[in-house]
């Protein structure tokens, strides 16, 4: 019998997940279909229940339902716990098992696809929202020399650093305190780029040979990437690899088969110009 999966979000028209999972299923010869569902605001539990009743095996969850999915789960992985948010669900009888693959997908893109080890590096994370939260544990597992979180609302960054302190050398500071500091890898995990805005990060934070990584994808050269480029950074990346890698993690979790990501990333890549 064909197994049924879906991504749920609102709005959902922009989603690339059905395309990505369709390509994975074709390449690995899995008997499954993957569609998109426009969830109703405030009705996540009912929409999830309807999908399960209709035979759904698993779901990806995107904005604005990642916290609702966390609340509805009966089991949560440590990564989902730390993120306080869920981007993948697996249904098994009465069990609703929750995961968060955003951070692990991001880390895999950086270390595997871009060939940039985080071990021993000075890492700067801009933003303290859901994506930043999800990245913390996977980043710290790579044993960076330091991980600094900065955020417009500083107390959110401070709270995150405190929560993750037991897992590695993590600290928080205000944007203004970045003056005079340099980092080997700088992640823009703010949503500023979605509105073509630039977080107030000093151009001098990029160390020689740094990687500048924009989590948003498909937007070409965002203000953050342009800042990095103008500061002399030659390694620029956006979040397309993260998107495909988190999808591959979910696919492997559901199906027990790891798909190749390279051809799918290539297909979805928008040039950074």
What residues are annotated to the active site?
A: 66
Task: Decide whether 3 or 70 has the Cβ nearer to ligand NDP.
Answer: 70
x/- track of binding to ligand NDP for residues 139-158 (CB under 6 A): ------------xxx--x--
Task: Decide whether 32 or 216 has the Cβ nearer to ligand NDP.
Answer: 216
For the range 257-263, what are the long-range contacts, defined as Cβ-Cβ under 8 Å and sequence gap of 24 or more? 257/28, 257/30, 259/23, 259/24, 259/27, 259/28, 260/27, 261/113, 262/113, 263/23, 263/27
> In the set 216, 225, 233, 236, which binds ligand NDP (CB under 6 A)?
216
Task: Decide whether 6 or 216 has the Cβ nearer to ligand NDP.
Answer: 216
**For 102, phi and psi rounded to 5 degrees?**
-60, -50
**For 18, phi and psi rounded to 5 degrees?**
-60, -40
Task: Decide whether 152 or 226 has the Cβ nearer to ligand NDP.
Answer: 152
Nearest to 184 by CA among 203, 157, 161, 212: 212
Element (H, E) at 118: none
Task: Decide whether 107 or 190 has the Cβ nearer to ligand NDP.
Answer: 190
Q: How far is the CB of 103 from ligand NDP (least distance, A)?
A: 9
Nearest to 222 by CA among 243, 263, 250, 194: 194
Give me the count of residues in the chain.
273
Query: Is residue 18 involved in binding ligand NDP (CB under 6 A)?
Result: no
x/- track of binding to ligand NDP for residues 102-141 (CB under 6 A): x------------------------xxxxxx---------
Sign of the dihedral through C-alpha 66, 92, 99, 117: negative
**For 168, phi and psi rounded to 5 degrees?**
160, -175
Query: Is residue 36 involved in binding ligand NDP (CB under 6 A)?
Result: no
Query: Is residue 9 involved in binding ligand NDP (CB under 6 A)?
Result: no
Query: Is residue 236 involved in binding ligand NDP (CB under 6 A)?
Result: no
CA distance 249 to 246: 5
Q: How far is the CB of 127 from ligand NDP (least distance, A)?
A: 4
Q: Which residues would be at the binding site for ligand NDP (CB under 6 A)?
A: 102, 127-132, 151-153, 156, 189-194, 197, 199, 215-217, 239, 242-243, 246
């Amino acid at each position: 019998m064909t197994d049924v999966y879906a991504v749920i979000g609102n709005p959902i028209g922009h989603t690339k997940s059905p395309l990505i999972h369709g390509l994975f299923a074709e390449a690995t010869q899995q008997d499954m279909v993957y569609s998109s569902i426009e969830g109703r605001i405030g009705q996540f539990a009912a929409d999830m229940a309807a999908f399960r009743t209709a035979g759904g095996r698993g779901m990806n969850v995107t904005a604005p339902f990642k916290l609702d999915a966390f609340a509805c789960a009966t089991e949560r992985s440590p990564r989902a716990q730390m993120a306080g948010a869920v981007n993948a669900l697996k249904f098994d009888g009465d069990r609703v098992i929750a995961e968060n693959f955003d951070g692990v997908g991001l880390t895999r893109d950086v270390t595997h696809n871009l060939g940039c080890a985080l071990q021993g590096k000075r890492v700067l994370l801009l933003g303290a929202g859901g994506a930043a939260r999800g990245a913390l544990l996977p980043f710290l597992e790579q044993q960076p020399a330091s991980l600094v979180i900065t955020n417009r609302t500083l107390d959110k960054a401070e709270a995150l650093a405190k929560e993750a302190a037991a897992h590695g050398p993590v600290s928080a500071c205000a944007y203004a305190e970045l003056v005079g500091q340099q980092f080997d890898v700088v992640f823009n995990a703010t949503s500023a780029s979605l509105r073509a805005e630039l977080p107030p990060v000093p151009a001098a934070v990029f160390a020689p040979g740094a990687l500048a990584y924009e989590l948003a994808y498909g937007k070409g050269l965002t203000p953050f990437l342009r800042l990095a480029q103008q500061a002399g950074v030659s390694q620029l990346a956006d979040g397309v690899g993260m998107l495909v890698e988190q999808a591959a993690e979910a696919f492997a979790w559901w199906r027990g088969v790891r798909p190749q990501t390279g051809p799918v990333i290539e297909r979805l890549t928008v040039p950074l110009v």
